[in-house]
Every structure is written in C-alpha cells, then in structure tokens.
Amino acid sequence: MSEDAALIGDSSMHDSDEAAPGGGFYRHRLTIRFTSGETLLYTVREALHAEDIPVNVRFVVINSYLCDKPEECTEIVLLNLNDVSYIKTEHVTEEELQREATTKREAELRSNTISPPPRLTRIGFI
C-alpha cells in the first residue's frame, strides 16, 4: 500500500461466516467519504483492510445486489480514488440491520416516501 494506507480501515476482525452473538452473521457497513464531504453507505459481506487494495489501484467498483434476489444487480458505481478521503468497514449484525430497516420503514410511513429494497454490495478495485 502506498502513502494512502490511512485511506481505509476496519474496526472488526469478524468474517461473513462467523456467527454473531445475537444470531445471524456479521455484515460490514462500508463507509466511503469523498473529499467534498459527501458520504456513501453500503452493506458488504467481507471486511475491507488496507492490504486488500493494491498499490496501483486508481478506481473502486461497487456492485449492489438485492438481498432477496442476489442474481439481480441493481447498481454499479465507479469511483476515482483521488476523490475519496477514506473508506472503512465496521461490523454490524443482522439484528442491527433489521432494527435499522424497521426504523427506516417507520420514518417512510410518516413521510410518505419509499426507499429501495435492502441490498448487499461487493467492492472491487481496478
């Protein structure tokens, strides 16, 4: 990794097949913050560590899939690493994700808005 080693990190050493204390499996919240201050949040299966990004990488490719239909890609995003101030992952349990989804649905009912269905994301580098 180059001088951008501080670009990413992970607060967890859990992997996607490790059972979480509250049931289910660990997932990871992927946070991407741009130099402009904008932030993107995704849910991924695997933690991201500094050694996962080769030195010569310039772009991040994000593929999102519907959780209930993993064969259907719903979003493809290409990000230039020059525009990213940091990328990090932190573990979350299925229970935490379900609680967040319930809170989100309740807020949508109050505001009469509808959000897209839950997605699971894969991240790659080119």
Cα separation of 126 and 124, whole Å? 7
Query: What is the count of structural domains for the chain?
Result: 1
What confidence tier does 37 reach under pLDDT thresholds 50, 70, 90? very high
pLDDT of residue 38: 96
Predicted model pTM: 0.71
Cα separation of 73 and 120, whole Å? 10
pLDDT of residue 1: 38
pLDDT of residue 21: 56
Paired residues of 119 in beta bridges: 66
Q: Which domain holds residue 13?
A: 3-125
What confidence tier does 15 reach under pLDDT thresholds 50, 70, 90? low
pLDDT of residue 106: 81
